[in-house]
């Protein structure tokens, strides 16, 4: 069985990561994941939030927003509405948590890396695209810190990637586009390490429930997708030999 | 092995639900879940949000907030800070999604039930307490609608309850208190039906990851806890014979 | 002549104060004043507002809010409306001023006690219930400060209680419930000391005026009510002998 | 005994009211009350707030603000702070209530008169100056309505004026300037009708209390001041014979 | 040809500047420019914005607002709307830039002068009236600084005045009133020095365009007006001989 | 003489316009103008602002924002700051005014076209790049309206483009990059039609003034740049023969 766009049930959309797309940011990546386009920048600041001062450890945080016309219908800007978008707030908390798990914060020094994920065009899966591309921008920012001798080694703990899986019309499908997502009975987002462990697992029944057997199927499909995305991340990062060993060690 | 408060690893805290605690609300419940106390009210309004008008269906939504001194340190009020609390926004979205899954919205008529969950005192697990007590307030509001002949039958689809499970010091524990939650390596929230299916599953590695085997253990512990909470919900609701059959049918 | 609920014109509703209802707060009290229920917590912080720094004196302030379903109709939360509630702001200023009059601020040290008054259910008289219960929470916070040796003596200046009085249907009535308040031609709030002096007196003609003779009658009725509330405060506080002498001295 | 500025204890500051100071407003008055200068405009709109629609009655409301440099120290604008000023909110509620008492709202038709009170320079007593000058602007707006045949008669119920009285250094003084107000032990604001009845009475002990005897003295001093201000209001309004009779009737 | 109000095409409205209208401000001016009335105060603070600290230089900034009934239709206050007025923000940036050009900031010391321009009544040209009167308030604040020996000499660089010019019904007109402004095809604001150089030139085609020849005509008309306003500024400032020389030098 | 980047004084940076970069928008263009990158989308809605309803005419408006890391230093998002950015508000008003001048609004029907200009990377000249690229997005939206038969002819009045000109180190330079802009003594933005008339002219002395002769030089340089940009706009728009005639007519 094939999907609307001809993909198989366990097939990812066409994904391309482009690095170094912003001349100012310490790391950046533009991901085109089907028709979902997200621009991620990693910005380094020599300070940490008030609650962490004096610990000697660093911090990684994320912000997520959509351009007004990223979607089929134009949405008003948050600033115009004068209030925070609950959905965006939830997503940026997820991105931040996921990417913090990639790094040994105690070895960053009192610095903050902010990952800005701005969705230029949205066709489903913007949060998982943001995490997967944010990892690339983050790794380049870590490289920048090593090159500028702020740190001596890259304190990578885990390679992180993410993908969505859903149940649509009774079938488990990998990497939902917007149309599939809107029709899904179950919607799950998986954030996993190179070893196939979970950083985050969120499964939601949209008006229905899902069984433990279905959960197992969702996880199997998701892990296959994530393994493929992690290969792409390694390729686009053009790892040096030492970095490749680092990745192999800290799966 | 026993926990700080003497509980076993798979043991819930002492939980009591009190119904009818607000004289105005169509349904209400105060839950005391260990030292976590949440006041839930269900408020009925004869209208639906703009995007649903004309569909004939109803809507269920939730709001969640903490009193300033619900916690060990007093927190400023949201209104004073002039901006929304990202954490509260995420939690109330979860509560709303979970309770919408309990009801066949198409049979409510163009009405909204708002579940307000106000945390009087917090000691971990406020979101799962809110969902479990919110279900009781919601069911009483549905009874009110039947008694006032707004609907002829209670359109219950699922009995819903929730619990937290975590990995603390390498061990999977049911129903974390705040101290355990703060030390947890993995933190999961499960929202499940009477049949043991998932409405929502959220697992987060706090600075670490968790394996698929650990996930299985988390789910097993959570389901045991949820089954016990569902028995308490049925008791406190003092189900009539017809309602008991309804619950049995719509697990 | 009797009122709707059977009370006499000069009779208070049934009032109960419960102390120690919050495990974290330095002082707390839940008052049930007829169907008006207010949860008051007193929170101690080791700092004062910027304009007072360096004076060596302390500060007492109050915040007041209603839960959305405290009233017959659900009201949106302030945070959702994105602006402060003028009525709440006025009430919390009154509570703060009244309770500051109870204490010799210069003997507190550079500390702030914040009295949070959260109305769980409202049936008229929420501001006077807040002041009367807030005094109890405040006194327990002062005891906490003495027990933890932050201060050596409790710097009480005045015992403070408050009550409402109104003119309804041409008659002066003590302690209006919501229904009476909504119909009142004159609405007054009295905050008084143990000696029967005023801390605050606010009388408002709602669409009408009131004469000097009526004012005298309002004051007489109010003072009787306040004397009774002050006896209840002393009882529930379970004063030690030394504290009883303190109260007697500082009426 | 004389005061800092040479006034007697029961003496008002020099007060001048100027009418017609805004070419657009339906009524306007600039009051110079000592060094307190307030510009009041009365603006007529052919609508009422949502909660009043369909009643056929009108509404009167007030807004109060200070220019940033109305005071010795410049204050940031509310818009810049992004939140409402609690003090201003309380004052504008008082002004609105007081001026609503002047008019038989049921005879206004579904119209709103907004009294804007903008303090150009503040030296104490801005709220009482606003009420006293706001009455003049309001009466001119009522005249405008009669002249443009929106109403056939001016629905005046009461002549309204206001003054402050305080206890400073143990003495009761009429009409406090800022310096006196800052030093006052008791601060009271009286809003009264032409007959000497109260529309509003607010007495506050600033860090102290006041007795019933002191209250009587405050009221006596205030009523003398208000009677004088009401004579000035009549003069500056240049009442026609019919209007003079109206004022005499509706004291 | 004459205009609606009888003026010639190159004629200013009647303009009067009144100094010293606020007893607290270090400088102040009330301008009545036809029916446009603006109250300007210059407030001195002994600090500069964060981005300038440590430079030893001063700062001049402006704020601009209209009273709600400054216009024919009452407008809600910014604070009530909960968001900044884009037009006001643009205007206050223009006023600030223009007045900063008047002063050698490096000789002010780390001080800020804030020019508040509050429009009491608006009939077109409020921004140019604000700049022209703001210059007077600013100069008096500089005198205050010299008199209080914060600075030894007045660091004036340029005398600044401003005027509007427009094309209405095909004709270039100086100093538009509101009615002309609303009908204008081209609307220009000129801010110029005593030497006739530009500080700021803003020309806007309102739904149309304007040619380079028309621009020349606009500039010629504007400069004539500005020269006249600068003579008025000098008169009202009652320059001492030394100040007159300073003005002559720093045109 | 050459500039830092090797350009001549009257030379534009390298500019490329890319059309159709957003799959949802009715028109879109990405401009890369040196290192300034702006994404413009034109969104069509079948409604107009309240103040225009019933006129039968359309409306064109613009919004402008920068991504947080568009600049060398990361800036917080507006939504996080909870207030509008004055600079952005001023710029989006300029873009809106400029693009409204391009179209005969009365022939659009009651529709709004919103031009969102989101700066992905900023190196000076973002507002002029936004106007020049916004014109392209707008024209494609007009084509969309003709193709979907909402209008029968494209109601173009003027071709619009914009450029900056400045005085840097005493020399007039076309099209400033950020480094030049920060050092400029005079900064001007010109918005002009195909005929070389002005839609908008804004010249600002940054801490200095500019003479009428310098203004003439600025205009000459700007017009040369704008003429070149207009040729690029025509090329990238791939005008049909009929459209080319339309452009020729409505310069």
Higher pLDDT, C2 or E164: E164
β-pairing, E186-193 with E198-205? antiparallel
Strand order in the sheet with A161-168: A171-174, A161-168, A186-192, A198-205, B198-205, B186-193, B160-168, B171-174
B249 touching C (Cβ < 8 Å): no
Residue of D nearest to E22 (CA): D121
C141: left (phi over 0), alpha (psi -120 to 50) or beta: alpha
Please give the Cα distance from E27 to E18 (Å, whole number). 11
Chain D contacts of E74, Cβ < 8 Å?
A: 43, 45, 114, 116
Please give the Cα distance from E112 to E116 (Å, whole number). 12
Average pLDDT over residues C122-130: 98
Surface-to-core class of residue B148, CB atoms within 10 Å of its CB (0-12 exposed, 13-18 middle, 19+ buried): exposed
C41 labelled as ligand-binding? no
**For D70, phi and psi rounded to 5 degrees?**
-65, -20
* Range scoring the smallest mean pLDDT among A103-112, C69-78, C81-90: C81-90
In C169-198, the residues whose Cβ lies within 8 Å of chain D are: 193, 195-198
Cβ pair C18, C229 in contact under 8 A: no
Q: Do D203 and C205 count as a contact with CB atoms less than 8 A apart?
A: no
Average pLDDT over residues C154-174: 96
Please give the Cα distance from E157 to E176 (Å, whole number). 29
Tell me the whole-structure pTM to 2 decimals.
0.92
Higher pLDDT, C79 or C76: C76
**What is the percent of chain F with per-residue pLDDT over 90, rounded to a whole number?**
89
Mutate to test the interface with D, among C198, C200, C214, C216 (most CBs of D within 10 A): C198
- HEC profile of chain F: CECCCCCECCCCCCEEEEECCCCCCCEEEEEEECCEEEEEEEEEECCCCHHHCCCCCCEEEEEEEECCCCCCCCCCCHHHHCCCCHHHHHHHHHHHHHHHCCECHHHCCCCEEEEEEEEEECCCCHHHHHHHHHHHHHHHHHHHHHHCCCCCCCCECCCEEEEEEEEECCEEEECCCHHHHHHCCEEEEEEEECCCCEEEEEEEECCCCECHHHHHHHHHHHHHHHHHHHHHHHHHHCCCHHHHHHHHHCC
Chain A contacts of F5, Cβ < 8 Å?
A: none
SS3 D64: strand
**Mean pLDDT value across chain C:** 94
From the CA of B36, how many Å to the nearest CA of chain C? 10
Mutate to test the interface with B, among A101, A196, A209, A220 (most CBs of B within 10 A): A209
Please give the Cα distance from B65 to E219 (Å, whole number). 60
CA E49 to each of CA A69, D25, E111, E150, F84: distance values in angstroms, whole numbers, following the listed order: 36, 39, 9, 19, 19
Cβ pair A71, A122 in contact under 8 A: yes
Between chain A and chain B, how many beta carbons pairs sit less than 8 Å apart? 102
Cβ pair C129, C17 in contact under 8 A: no
- The per-residue pLDDT for range B58-94, each reduced to its tens digit, is 999 999 999 999 999 999 987 655 556 889 999 999 9
Distance of CA C162 to the CA centre of its chain: 6
From the CA of D86, how many Å to the nearest CA of chain C? 6
Chain B contacts of A101, Cβ < 8 Å?
A: 205, 207-209
Cβ pair D27, D141 in contact under 8 A: yes
Chain B contacts of C84, Cβ < 8 Å?
A: 79
Average pLDDT over residues B197-208: 92
Please give the Cα distance from F184 to D132 (Å, whole number). 55
From the CA of B171, how many Å to the nearest CA of chain A? 17
User: Two tokens at F116?
Assistant: 């969102």
**DSSP secondary structure code for residue B156 in this structure:** B
D116 touching E (Cβ < 8 Å): yes
Q: Do A204 and B97 count as a contact with CB atoms less than 8 A apart?
A: yes
| Half-sphere CA count of D72, side-chain side, radius 13 A | 4
Cβ pair E117, E92 in contact under 8 A: yes
Chain F contacts of E208, Cβ < 8 Å?
A: 101
Q: Do D114 and E85 count as a contact with CB atoms less than 8 A apart?
A: no
| pLDDT for the residue numbered E166 | 96
| pLDDT for the residue numbered B82 | 52
Third-level CATH fold of F15-249: Ribosomal Protein S5; domain 2 (3.30.230)
| pLDDT for the residue numbered C1 | 62
In D82-111, the residues whose Cβ lies within 8 Å of chain E are: 82, 84-85
E87 labelled as ligand-binding? yes
User: Two tokens at C70?
Assistant: 């405290």
Residue of C nearest to D194 (CA): C209
Q: Which of A25, A71, A77 sits opposite F24 (nearest CB)?
A: A71
E125 labelled as ligand-binding? yes
From the CA of C27, how many Å to the nearest CA of chain B? 11
Q: How confident is the model at residue B208 (pLDDT cuts 50, 70, 90)?
A: confident
SS3 B173: strand
- The per-residue pLDDT for range E141-170, each reduced to its tens digit, is 999 999 999 999 999 999 999 999 999 999
- Evaluated on CA atoms D7, D9, D11, D12, the torsion sign reads positive
| pLDDT for the residue numbered B80 | 57
Higher pLDDT, B14 or B3: B14
Locus of tokens 């905050």: C191
* Range scoring the smallest mean pLDDT among A131-135, A212-216, B247-251, F71-75: B247-251
- Residue E44, pLDDT above cutoff 90: yes
Q: Which residues pair with F82 in a beta bridge?
A: none
**Given a contact as 3+ CB pairs under 8 Å, which chains touch E?**
D, F
- Helical spans, DSSP H, in chain E: 78-81, 86-100, 126-147, 178-183, 212-237, 241-249
| pLDDT for the residue numbered E206 | 81
Q: Which residues of chain D have pLDDT under 70?
A: 1, 79-84, 251
Distance of CA E143 to the CA centre of its chain: 19
Mutate to test the interface with A, among F74, F82, F138 (most CBs of A within 10 A): F74
| Half-sphere CA count of E11, side-chain side, radius 13 A | 12
Please give the Cα distance from B29 to B31 (Å, whole number). 6
Please give the Cα distance from D95 to D114 (Å, whole number). 11
Residue of B nearest to C67 (CA): B118
Cβ pair F200, F98 in contact under 8 A: yes
* Range scoring the smallest mean pLDDT among C2-11, E116-125, F161-170: C2-11
Chain F contacts of A23, Cβ < 8 Å?
A: 35, 121
Radius of gyration of chain F measured on its C-alpha atoms: 18
**Taking Cα atoms as reference points, which of F176, F95, F185, F102 lies closest to residue F140?**
F102
Q: Which of C86, C197, C204 sits opposite D209 (nearest CB)?
A: C197
- Residue F95, pLDDT above cutoff 60: yes
Residue of A nearest to B200 (CA): A204
Please give the Cα distance from A167 to A183 (Å, whole number). 9
| pLDDT for the residue numbered F250 | 79
Between chain C and chain D, how many beta carbons pairs sit less than 8 Å apart? 101
Please give the Cα distance from B220 to B197 (Å, whole number). 12
| pLDDT for the residue numbered A55 | 87
Q: Do B22 and C69 count as a contact with CB atoms less than 8 A apart?
A: yes
**Taking Cα atoms as reference points, which of F226, F46, F6, F22 lies closest to residue F137?**
F22
Distance of CA E159 to the CA centre of its chain: 11
Q: What are the structural domain ranges in chain F?
A: 15-249
SS3 D183: helix
Residue of C nearest to B35 (CA): C23
| pLDDT for the residue numbered A110 | 96
ipTM: 0.91
In D142-161, the residues whose Cβ lies within 8 Å of chain C are: 158
**Mean pLDDT value across chain B:** 94
SS3 B19: strand
D75 touching C (Cβ < 8 Å): no
Residue of D nearest to C195 (CA): D211
| Half-sphere CA count of E50, side-chain side, radius 13 A | 0
Q: What share of chain E is helix, strand, coil (3-state, %, to 5)?
A: 35, 30, 35
Locus of tokens 């959260």: C118
Cβ pair E187, E164 in contact under 8 A: yes
**What is the percent of chain C with per-residue pLDDT over 90, rounded to a whole number?**
89
Chain E contacts of F201, Cβ < 8 Å?
A: 201-203, 215
| pLDDT for the residue numbered E250 | 78
């Amino acid at each position: 069985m094939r999907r609307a766009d001809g993909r198989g049930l366990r097939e990812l959309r066409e994904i391309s990561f482009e690095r170094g797309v912003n001349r100012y940011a310490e790391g950046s990546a533009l991901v085109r994941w089907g028709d979902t386009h997200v621009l991620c920048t990693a910005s380094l600041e020599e300070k940490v939030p008030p609650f962490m001062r004096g610990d000697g450890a660093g911090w990684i945080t994320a912000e997520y927003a959509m351009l007004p016309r990223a979607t089929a219908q134009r949405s008003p800007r948050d600033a115009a509405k004068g209030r925070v978008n609950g959905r965006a707030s939830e997503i940026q908390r997820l991105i931040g948590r996921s990417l913090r798990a990639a790094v040994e914060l105690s070895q960053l020094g009192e610095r903050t890396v902010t990952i800005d994920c701005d969705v230029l065009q949205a066709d489903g899966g913007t949060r998982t695209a943001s995490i997967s591309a944010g990892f690339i921008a983050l790794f380049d920012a870590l490289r920048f810190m090593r090159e500028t001798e702020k740190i001596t080694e890259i304190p990578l703990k885990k390679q992180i990637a993410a993908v969505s899986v859903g149940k649509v019309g009774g079938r488990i499908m990998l990497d939902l586009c917007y149309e599939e997502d809107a029709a899904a009975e179950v919607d799950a987002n998986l954030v996993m390490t190179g070893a196939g462990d979970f950083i985050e697992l969120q499964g939601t029944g949209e008006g229905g429930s899902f069984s433990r057997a279905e959960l197992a199927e969702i996880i199997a499909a998701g892990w296959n997708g994530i393994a493929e995305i992690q290969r792409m991340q390694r390729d686009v990062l053009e790892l040096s030999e030492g970095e490749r060993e680092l990745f192999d060690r800290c799966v």
